[in-house]
Structure 1
Amino acid sequence: MTSTDGGAFRRMLRRLTSDVDELDADDLSAGAQKSGAQRASDCACGQEVTMLGRLRSVEFRPQNADASLEAELFDGTDGVTLIWLGRRRIPGIEPGRTMRVRGRLALRDGRKVLYNPYYEICQASTT
């Protein structure tokens, strides 16, 4: 057995014994890294970022004049809240969609946030 066979065996064993959510997070993180996107866990407030991940939730928040559409994007390392101010709905923005987003990272209540990010809806990978 060569050293690459041992690595392949370890990866296969890990895939058989790991939690499904953990494996999904690893796949998301690897896909984001391959695409050249930044890891959410490595990004800091004020930084211009490009991230790739999957939407976990989408919610309309009607708060007086400050209504917004909010979505949680998860890239396998951390979650980022996407907020589109003044929007009730955006076609295609729904849980389970894979998206590439770009904007300046902010913090709100200790959570990472992108306000009115540029976005691209991507095809989910089949790997």
Structure 2
Amino acid sequence: MTAEGRAGKRGGRLWRLLGRSEAGAPGEDLAAEPAAAPCTRIGDCAREAAGRPVVRVTGTVRQVRERSVAGMPALEARLDDGSASLNVVWLGRRAIAGVEPGRAMVASGRIAVTDGEAVLFNPRYQLQARGQE
């Protein structure tokens, strides 16, 4: 295979990982998925966590902190929707641009319960535009 062929193959794989076709048209965009399904109240997530379902929640980021999980960095945000709050944790991240207190966010992922609290690990997320909170 030629160098151009290998580069094209790798580039196509990258576009698929980003959720876009090679032409740049939206495909199964991972970032777009949170806006597609109805939201679950965070207060209802703890009851549903036993089966570890995939949930979609929306709320306001109340607190952001960096911590360590199993020796690796993690960014933790506390998301609150008025009914309850849950932790959203991105493993291997120290910061994410725009994830800050007061920012509205939609997140989706498989719910887990850690130390009696609902947690979304490495969720798909979408920050809401400022002024649309």
| C-alpha distance in 2 between matches for 1:65 and 1:115 | 16
Match of 2:109 in 1: 103
Check the 8 A contact 2:75/2:89 in 1, yes or no: yes
Check the 8 A contact 2:69/2:91 in 1, yes or no: no
Partner SS, residue 42 of structure 1: helix
Q: CA deviation at 1:125?
A: 3.6
Deviations 1:61-119 (A, max 9, x none): 14562220000000110101000001000000000000000001000000000000000
Q: CA deviation at 1:42?
A: 1.4
Match of 2:41 in 1: 39
Question: What is the percentage of aligned positions where both structures have the same residue?
Answer: 39
Q: CA deviation at 1:37?
A: 1.2
Match of 2:30 in 1: none
Match of 2:66 in 1: 60
Give the letter for the 2:66 counterpart: F
Return the TM-score normalized by structure 2.
Answer: 0.64
Q: Give the unaligned 5+ runs of structure 2.
A: 1-36
Residues paired across the two proteins, number: 92
Match of 1:83 in 2: 89
Give the letter for the 1:101 counterpart: A
Post-superposition, which runs of at least 4 consecutive aligned residues in structure 1 deviate over 4 A? Answer: none
Return the TM-score normalized by structure 1.
Answer: 0.67
